[in-house]
Amino acid sequence: MATRSKSSQRWLKEHFSDPYVKKAQAEGMRSRAAYKLEELAGRDRLIRPGMVVVDLGAAPGGWSQWVRQALDRLEQGLPPGAKRGRVIASDIREMPPLAGVEFLHGDFRDDAVLSRLLEMLGGEPVDLVLSDMAPNMSGVDAVDQPRAMHLAELAMEFADRQLREGGTFLIKLFQGVGSDDYLRELRRRYAKVAIRKPAASRKRSPEVYALATGKLARMK
């Protein structure tokens, strides 16, 4: 039997002692990432009844699951025929079905996958774009950071085209080469851009979340 490396052992110990992992298991959430979004959405009141939400890089589904539950709570008691929120999730990895979540399996970098996503939207404007996308990390910054920034740029382009005026874009960024330039581009497109580091985000991780609110009709 192969023995695990010391770094792998440390990761497993940290993972299973993580309070957010334990909370996710206890509450039936798909991943601890749900609590990152819970904090971010609660602080800035991101979820409203009837919203159209697109979750990029959704697997295993923690964010989509949390958004669907939040929408269901907010939409309780709405009269018949009232507009109900939609959650559309996409990932290169398979994701087990979630009630009330529409899932597209495919590589977001593929034009054909993007076309299918647009077909699912059916011309409906998007209120909130979420992106928790990240590349498979090699541990080599010179390789990982450009890959991460490429995904971030694709998500921004999607928001440019599909997000309604006044809409919101929340994206995970890895601090490093290209991230400052990316934030400058966001500030040209949105009325306000804030950087968040939720409590469920591990302190040693270079990840932060850029929250861009109030999409502008025209770039600055």
List the catalytic residue out of 13, 36, 83, 172: 172
pLDDT score of 11 more than 50: no
pTM for the model stands at 0.89
> Residue 127: its pLDDT value, please?
98
CATH of the domain at 81: 3.40.50.150
Question: Residue 1: what pLDDT?
Answer: 41
Residue with tokens 């970098």: 109
- Asked if residue 19 is part of any domain, the answer here is no
Residue 110 lies in a domain: yes
Q: How many C-beta atoms surround the C-beta of residue 11 within 10 A?
A: 12
CA distances from 156 to 70, 73, 124, 150 (A): 24, 29, 18, 10
Tokens 């080599």 map to which residue? 140
Instruction: Indicate whether 59 belongs to any domain.
Output: yes
Average pLDDT for 150-179: 96
Per-residue pLDDT reduced to its tens digit, 64-77: 999 999 999 999 98
Q: How many residues does the chain have?
A: 220
Q: What average pLDDT does the segment 144-153 reach?
A: 95
Q: Provide the pLDDT for residue 5.
A: 57
Residue 65 lies in a domain: yes
Q: What b/e string do you get for 97-117 counting C-beta neighbours within 10 Å, with b at 16 or more?
A: ebebbbbbeeebeeeebbeeb
What is the pLDDT, as a whole number, of residue 135? 87
- Residues tagged in the binding site annotation: 61, 63, 91, 107, 132
Confidence (pLDDT) at 201: 86
**Which segments are annotated as binding site for S-adenosyl-L-methionine?**
61, 63, 91, 107, 132
pLDDT grade, residue 120 (50/70/90)?
very high
Q: How many domains does the chain have?
A: 1
Domain-located, residue 186: yes
Judge whether 172 counts as a catalytic residue. yes
Is 168 inside a domain boundary?
A: yes
In a domain, 10, yes or no: no
Instruction: List Cα–Cα distances, 158 to 18, 50, 53, 111, 153, in angstroms.
Output: 34, 21, 13, 12, 9
Of 32, 45, 151, 146, nearest in space to 90 by CA: 151
The reply to whether 58 falls in a domain is yes
- Give the range of the structural domain holding residue 187, as residue numbers without chain letter: 32-215
Specify the range with the lowest mean pLDDT, choosing from 4-18, 45-59, 65-79: 4-18
